[in-house]
Amino acid sequence: MEATRYKHNPIIRPDDVAPSSEALKVVGVFNPAVAQVGEETILLMRVAEAARETDPRYVSVPVVDPASREVRVVSLPRSSPDVDASDPRLVVHRGRVYLTSVSHLRIARSRDGCRFQVDRRPALAPATPYETYGVEDPRITRIPDGRFIVSFSAVSEHGVCVELAETRDFAEFRRLGIVLPPENRNVALFPEKIGGRYVMMHRPNSEPFGSSGIWLAFSDDLMHWGDHRFLAGTRRGAWDGARIGAGAPPLKTPHGWLAIYHGAAPGTNAYSLGALLLDLDDPTRIIARSHEPFLSPKAPYETHGFYPNVVFACGATCRADGRVLVYYGAADHVVALAEIGLDELVDSLR
């Protein structure tokens, strides 16, 4: 059982996105959150930008100055023994780690959920000392009071934090602040309170003692989180045996909370998508879990890119006809779309 890919994938490519600065170039657009606002489908996408190289003797890395909120380019000599640029994602200089790109969040809009128009300017750009290396991997949850809560990773020399923002119209956003300190990411909020409390899925770093897993946390006010509970971990020898993390915010179904998650396979480090089915009244109880992924990297745009062999979902919607539309990042390079029947997906978990 596998999801059906949209025939015109990828639906958004780096060439579709205008750079936020003349000093930068867009190297990836991926890992979109999704919200349905009336007849409009809105994606909030991670846009990765790298410095435009002007001198091959130097490796250039972009860093945000929190005082000016401008991106400055740090140039490091490639020939220096103090510079390690062997990993395409990062550069190490005298023990300090820089990312080769800096990310912001950008909106794309569609009337049919397939063909999107990308805004020319960022919706959420790095602006604080906790975001100097970028803001990444958003999820959007609409809560009963009408607000859309955006969770995202804030990356800096301090580590990877989890931050929340809110909007009602996707025109103006208000940062609520850091809610989880380093090292944590992959936060997905449930769309309603359970037992009188807000609930989130999150993924703290548990190394070196074990592989990272998905946890639950609870809050009365969205800002102060506690009562942390372990939910799900990796499975030895399985498709999700190396690493897992929450994907799209859980979808409420008659069968339970459907929580799409990503898993990485041992050895290959290929990222695939599966699902958990959680009890509606007690989300700490797993009813069922994917034995096999419903989407694995097979298409060329999934197996080749900035980080090959990755499908990574931060957003999904369930249509009235029972189709689940999954918007996902492919190879840390492009945005793609796949669909699968809700009942078909739930049946595959049992």
pLDDT tens readout for residues 237-290: 999 999 999 999 999 999 999 999 999 998 888 999 999 999 999 999 999 999
Q: Are 149 and 163 in contact (CB under 8 A)?
A: no
Residue in 43, 42, 62, 44 with CA at minimum distance from that of residue 52: 62
Position 95 scores a pLDDT of 87
Say yes or no to pLDDT of 211 above 80: no
How far is residue 308's CA from residue 272's CA, in Å, rounded to a whole number? Answer: 12
Position 50 scores a pLDDT of 94
pTM score above 0.85? yes
Q: What percent of the chain shows pLDDT beyond 90? A: 84
Position 287 scores a pLDDT of 98
Position 23 scores a pLDDT of 87
Question: What does the domain layout of the chain look like in residue ranges?
Answer: 4-349
How far is residue 154's CA from residue 103's CA, in Å, rounded to a whole number? Answer: 10
Q: Computed over its alpha carbons, how large is the radius of gyration of the chain?
A: 19
How far is residue 350's CA from residue 326's CA, in Å, rounded to a whole number? Answer: 21
Position 348 scores a pLDDT of 94
Position 66 scores a pLDDT of 83
CATH code for the part of the protein at 4-349: 2.115.10.20
pLDDT tens readout for residues 72-130: 888 999 999 999 988 888 899 998 888 999 999 999 999 999 999 999 999 999 999 99
Q: What percent of the chain shows pLDDT beyond 70? A: 99
